[in-house]
Structure 1
Amino acid sequence: MTVGTQKNPDFFDTKVLGHPAGLFVLFFTEMWERFSFYGMRVLLVNFLTMAIISYNPGWEWVPENATSLFGTYAMLLYITPILGGIIADKFTGYNWAVVIGSIIMTLGHASMSLETEASLFVGLGLLIVGTGFFKPNITSIISEMYKYLPNKKDGAFTIFYMGVNAGAFFGMLLCGYLAEKLGWAYGFGLAGVFMLLGTIQFWLAKPLFGSIGEVPKITLKEVEQPQEDIKKTNDKPNPFTTLDKILIAIASFIGLGYAINDPMSKIANIDMFAWAQLPSVSGQYVVVLFGLLVFLFLVISRILRYEGVLRDRMFAFIIFAFFTVLFWMSFEQGASSLIIFARDYVDRSLSGSAAIAFNVINTALTVIPLLIITYVLFLLGKRTFNKIPGSNITLAITFIGVWILTVWMLNRDWNTNSYEVSYKSIKTKVVENGKPKLTENGKQIYSYTPIYEDYKVKPSDLVVERKVNIAETFNFRLGEIIPIITKDNVNSTFGYLTPAKLKDTRLKAEQLDKKTSKVVMAEISDIKDKEVEITVSWFSILNSFFIIAFASFFSKWFDSKYNPSATVKYGLGLIVMGVGFGLLAWGSSGIQDGVKVSMVWLIFAYLFHTLGELCSSPIGLSYVSKLVPARMIALMFGMWYLAIAIGNKLAAVLGGEIENITQEYSLSTFFLIFTVVPTVFGLIIISLGKLVNKLMHGVK
């Protein structure tokens, strides 16, 4: 019997796939939390920026405002866990912190499903607070579980992170599908339902954990650093001075102030930093620049107070943190600009053999992992049903729900019909800077505005017939007149309005005092083969899929004799990600108004972004623990998450400029920015390899 089994006999007697059954309880708890988080994340910007009168009405915010709000939300998600971990350590314990966080997040999702401005802001606030309790503490439970079995910890976290990716995969897939096909409230609501069920199954599994997860008796201060490393690093105390504390307060106040002020100034036109306005620079950016200088002075002055090896290692840590900001600034375009790009600029319709091929791939992509996870659930139930029956029953209910939704989704896609519809449109010459806008071949470019049902045609209007395909589960007759309305913000994809939707659309236009309802009366001109319209959210699942597919390869590579240095890994991550954006810049170059990009470019972009993530993202936290002494781990983890938070905020702010840059220059130019910047900085950090290795003093 091992030390671990002596400490927790009941806990370690129930094993599944060679690991304690409790690990798989945490696996499913994290899976449902990630299901709800990523399910909501993939919807938010799409919902906020969707036209207020459309097939699936949103709020018609400009991308700049929508991504500003999302960026603040994403930023705070990486800051509140620092406080949540402290509260759990001192007061609640990990188990209660996870439950409290889960309940708060469930309320957040429920609030968002109401689709009012007040409920949206309340919901996001609850999700931020709930994540603060949940995120740091579920991993703390795993660490405590394997305290006496360190040789099994790597395998445990590998299994656990499979749950993270499985939850992200199914959350984005199902929440996104329901939201786009049935309505946003269904997507936001589904995220909350599974968050609640995940909470219940975790709480009912408490008898399995015993004392694990209660308020810890050993704090971080009691963790001993090896004596030889203390001698090597000259690790003398470096207490915070009064000036340090003042600078921390100033930098924190400015950082949080900016996070709140940015969306508030853009959405509500309330600017707390207007007093700092310069002729060509926003007041909040002047204040942020000052706060950044304060923060840099604080960090550098503290590092210079250390001696020798430790001081050098801390500088190496700061270099890694800087490039981490740059990485996430580009990578997190997947939650903002790439959502808008997939919706408005990518051709997501497949017909005939292409539709069949997609349905086959999508069925395998969905059903196979779901079968594997269901089998794990069966094994867990077999081992633990007598001890935690309620938890097992709750888990069974959640999976029955997922299977029902999955079968419904796949059946709907397999039975979607394709129709060609014709409608009247007004043809207009496109003029730019007072001159006709021409193609590369010198031909005039025209725009086409659908003739809505309540529009009165003028004698000067040039009316032409336009044809477009629609994908629907309804059966229409040739020659039938049906109401259709745009599904995106560029009037290029249309969907059928059921009688209920038609009534709601007309009513909304009347309530908003809009001049037109945007309803177009179209005629079924041809009945085609089967067709499938891929949802915007489907592309986001590719990241999770590619991680699962390639993670083992990268793990073996990094464990081999060909394992590259940390700077090379970071550099490759940035460069490979830049290649992904380069493909998007190439694919979208020279496209005309109304023309859409092949989805192949976006699929390959997600592939390269994921490969870049696998190069650089996993090594970050590892180097935090290697470069700093044990007594500083908590502070440095906080610094690391702060770097990620800043990267997320910058990603959203820059992503919100997609429409502005596209209108001023081109869509290709927007993606070219994210091609050049990561590539250049990737080459820079690779060139700094010798310097960084010297600063790390033997840390590998």
Structure 2
Amino acid sequence: MAVIGVNPGWEWSAENAGTLFATYAGLLYLTPILGGMIADKFLGYRNAVAVGALIMTLGHALMAIETEASLYGGLALLVIGTGFFKPTMTSIISEMYKDLPEKKDGAYTIFYMGVNAGAFFGMMLCGYLAEKIGWSWGFGLAGIFMMLGLLQFWFSKPLFGEIGSAPKKEEKSKPQTSQLDTLEDISSDDEKQPKETLNPFTTFDKVFTVLSVIFGLVFLLHGPFAINGVPLIPDFFGIYSDGEEILSPKITFILIGLVVFFFPLIISRISRYERVIRHRMITVVIFAFFTIFFWMSFEQGASSLVIFARDFTDRILEGSAATTFLVIDLLLTFTPLIIITWVLIKLWGASAKIIRLSNIILVVCFMGIWGLAIWKTNRDLNTKSYELTVAMHVTPDLDKDGKQKVDKKTGELLFAKTPVTVAMEKTLTDSDSVEIVTKTIGEYKELIPGNEILATFELGAFRYVDEVKEGMILKQIEQHPGKSSPIIKATLGEVAGNEVEITTSWFSILNSFFIIAFASLFSKWWESKYNPSAAVKYGLGLIVMALGFGILAIGANGLEEGMRVSLVWLVFAYLFHTLGELCLSPVGLSYVSKLVPARMIGFMFGMWYLAIAIGNYAAGYLGGKIETIQEQYSMSTFFLIFTIIPIFMGIVIILLNPMFKRLMHGVR
């Protein structure tokens, strides 16, 4: 993205941005392991939630400053805050319903829906502010609502009683027990499951655990440090032949960590258990392996699909298409908001006397959400499309080898057209080819046809520059003296109708919306007699999710630079991704708790989160390659990678279903 403009970026490449996201996403699934341990032993769940929320608030505040240092600092605080927040919220719910196991599934369903409702409105409103007004507004709004949420949670303590409070000294000294300590399962051979024998962590286990963690952290942090010229992994880790790199230092480094430390640690721990427990733990390890491929593909929604939506999807709608979208967006925005508001009114009536101050803060939050939703809708409804007469500099469209591109269908030479900026006007000569064309520009403010206006051309669209934005751009030029002004002089024509520019972040709300829409349907499926086995659910999750990428591969067929596809392709892709997630989500962590003995629960949860972290890291790393693969091969090739691999892995795990049934020894 350009470093100068109405809403500029820092001119990072997609690859560098993907590397940073890979590190961030990987760490998000590792810090909860440590955060959960601190909450268990010292803080208690409620205090840990408060600490995590406060740290995340500070993280968003730092990111609102918009400097590279504050970006790194803000992301670091978000990772640390999530480490406290993520594991403890679910632990509080578990503790609240420990004596009501029959109601626990319903409680987790409400929690899951609440999380997705928050994600839905957060991405919709914060993303809209960030793209339409400025990035600091988006991050700032997220920080404000995080702080209000923290206060609302803190003043609701009377509802919890002693639930989630800090452990007392005598509680710390008591040995921890679990239902798994006393549970007797019936194996497939009708043999009673023997109780877990004592299997303490040896010095070997502890040392290799620490070394595995160190290797993992160095691997995750290497990318951002390397971007800034301080690589953590030296080049001598690479494998070379005749001067050519066979394996990069980063890949070799993590392979050494896995083979020398992590795999021996897993084998050492599992091999010391008796046969039935050992088989069940092996099942968890295999499931964890397949988990990597799911999240590697699914989390493209936060990396490559954002770039695809921004640069290759037609997000500017006019006429009937704009009207249709506005109606759909109106329903998407206000229908869930009305339902949630009604639920909160009912909750107010039930808890007003107990947590009055907490409820007042909650009302303030939702008044803010209503206000922002109405402001956003009004802005979109009143954005008009104007004709714009602008000069375009015509030059040969060159490929990466410097040769002029040719239209594959007609054989004609292709030319690139670039808007003539104020800076370019001074350098153009009589030999330069300039063409006067009519384009469109969308603007919320009332503009006067016939006037000359200032504009910029960003992400495939012309954007109006008023006096305030012009001052911002001039200030950016002062800060980057090597950059030329992106300001364009153009003549405004007649009103062409309504126009809507769909924000890139709008597509990210689709996952949350589809989860809310289909979660109950899948819940009924799992409770019916047609409930498939764990392996089949996993396989279906991988295959259905991959079909979403198959849809994109078809939609992107023949897509070249400058071309854009209909937004319908992305909508259907997100639909299939969500359906795949709903197939797979019941399997994950629930089977860890079912199959693993109490003494190994924490260790295996850590291993499971490590698998998700690896998948998220791979998603960010591969997502950053979208432009490179598109240039060297095609956009379809990029999406086929995430179509073929998950489908293959899904078929494999379904075929392994009989083996899993034997290894699980009766656990369903």
- The 3-state SS of whatever aligns with 1:431 is coil
Alignment of 1:208 onto 2:159 = yes
Residues in 1 aligned to 2:234 and 2:402: alpha-carbon distance in whole angstroms: 39
Q: Deviations over 1:295-331 (max 9, x none)?
A: 1232133323322111111111111101111100100
Aligned partner letter, 1:483: L
Alignment of 1:446 onto 2:415 = yes
The answer as to whether partners of 2:185 and 2:667 remain within 8 angstroms in 1 is no
Residues in 1 aligned to 2:341 and 2:226: alpha-carbon distance in whole angstroms: 47
Alignment match, 1:229: 185
Alignment of 1:565 onto 2:505 = no
Aligned partner letter, 1:583: I
Alignment match, 1:186: 137
Residues in 2 aligned to 1:253 and 1:446: alpha-carbon distance in whole angstroms: 52
Alignment of 1:143 onto 2:128 = no
Residues in 2 aligned to 1:545 and 1:503: alpha-carbon distance in whole angstroms: 39
Alignment match, 1:481: 452
- Cα offset, 1:622, TM superposition: 1.3
Larger displacement relative to structure 2 (163-172 or 151-160): 151-160
RMSD: 1.7
Residues in 2 aligned to 1:397 and 1:268: alpha-carbon distance in whole angstroms: 46
Alignment of 1:585 onto 2:535 = no
The answer as to whether partners of 2:419 and 2:457 remain within 8 angstroms in 1 is no
Residues in 1 aligned to 2:312 and 2:208: alpha-carbon distance in whole angstroms: 46
Alignment of 1:302 onto 2:269 = yes
Q: How many residues align?
A: 648
- Cα offset, 1:644, TM superposition: 0.9
C-alpha spacing 1:388/1:548, structure 2 compared with 1 (3 Å): same
The answer as to whether partners of 2:304 and 2:626 remain within 8 angstroms in 1 is yes
The 5 Å alignment of 1:446-465 reads 446-455=415-424, 456-465=427-436
The answer as to whether partners of 2:314 and 2:566 remain within 8 angstroms in 1 is yes
Alignment of 1:636 onto 2:604 = yes
Q: Deviations over 1:654-679 (max 9, x none)?
A: 11111111121222211111111111
Residues in 2 aligned to 1:152 and 1:618: alpha-carbon distance in whole angstroms: 17
Alignment of 1:529 onto 2:500 = no
Larger displacement relative to structure 2 (186-195 or 352-361): 352-361
Residues in 1 aligned to 2:415 and 2:175: alpha-carbon distance in whole angstroms: 67
Larger displacement relative to structure 2 (448-457 or 162-171): 448-457
- Cα offset, 1:123, TM superposition: 1.2
Larger displacement relative to structure 2 (392-401 or 52-61): 52-61
Residues in 2 aligned to 1:262 and 1:601: alpha-carbon distance in whole angstroms: 32
Q: Deviations over 1:376-419 (max 9, x none)?
A: 22122222222221111111111111111010001111111011
Alignment match, 2:189: none
Alignment match, 1:436: 404
Alignment match, 1:156: 107
Residues in 2 aligned to 1:661 and 1:539: alpha-carbon distance in whole angstroms: 23
Alignment of 1:122 onto 2:103 = no
Aligned partner letter, 2:178: V
Aligned partner letter, 1:276: F
- Cα offset, 1:229, TM superposition: 3.5
TM-score (norm 1): 0.90
Larger displacement relative to structure 2 (213-222 or 374-383): 213-222
Larger displacement relative to structure 2 (203-212 or 335-344): 203-212
- The 3-state SS of whatever aligns with 1:482 is strand
Aligned partner letter, 1:528: A
Match of 2:624 among 642, 656, 664: 656
- The 3-state SS of whatever aligns with 2:393 is strand
- The 3-state SS of whatever aligns with 1:470 is strand
- The 3-state SS of whatever aligns with 2:285 is helix
The 5 Å alignment of 1:10-89 reads 50-89=1-40
Larger displacement relative to structure 2 (455-464 or 528-537): 455-464
Q: Deviations over 1:252-290 (max 9, x none)?
A: 111011111122112334344334233313322211111
Match of 2:231 among 239, 252, 270: 270
The 5 Å alignment of 1:537-552 reads 537-552=505-520
Unaligned 5+ segments in structure 1 are 1-49
The answer as to whether partners of 2:184 and 2:195 remain within 8 angstroms in 1 is no
- The 3-state SS of whatever aligns with 1:159 is helix
Residues in 2 aligned to 1:508 and 1:74: alpha-carbon distance in whole angstroms: 31
Residues in 1 aligned to 2:515 and 2:343: alpha-carbon distance in whole angstroms: 20
Alignment match, 1:103: 54
Aligned partner letter, 2:487: V
Higher RCO (C-alpha under 8 Å, 6+ residues apart): 2
Alignment match, 1:598: 566
Aligned partner letter, 2:343: V
Alignment of 1:511 onto 2:505 = no
Alignment match, 2:84: 133
Q: Deviations over 1:511-540 (max 9, x none)?
A: 312342111212223421111111100000
- Cα offset, 1:211, TM superposition: 1.3
Match of 2:337 among 356, 363, 370: 370
Alignment match, 1:38: none
The answer as to whether partners of 2:60 and 2:78 remain within 8 angstroms in 1 is yes
Residues in 1 aligned to 2:230 and 2:42: alpha-carbon distance in whole angstroms: 40
Aligned partner letter, 2:547: V
Alignment match, 1:250: 211
- The 3-state SS of whatever aligns with 1:426 is strand
Aligned partner letter, 2:248: S
- The 3-state SS of whatever aligns with 1:484 is strand
Residues in 1 aligned to 2:24 and 2:483: alpha-carbon distance in whole angstroms: 35
- The 3-state SS of whatever aligns with 1:350 is strand
Match of 1:396 among 357, 363, 383: 363
Residues in 1 aligned to 2:75 and 2:200: alpha-carbon distance in whole angstroms: 36
Match of 2:259 among 287, 293, 299: 293
- Cα offset, 1:479, TM superposition: 2.5
Residues in 1 aligned to 2:402 and 2:10: alpha-carbon distance in whole angstroms: 32
Match of 2:314 among 335, 347, 351: 347
C-alpha spacing 1:515/1:140, structure 2 compared with 1 (3 Å): closer
- The 3-state SS of whatever aligns with 1:457 is coil
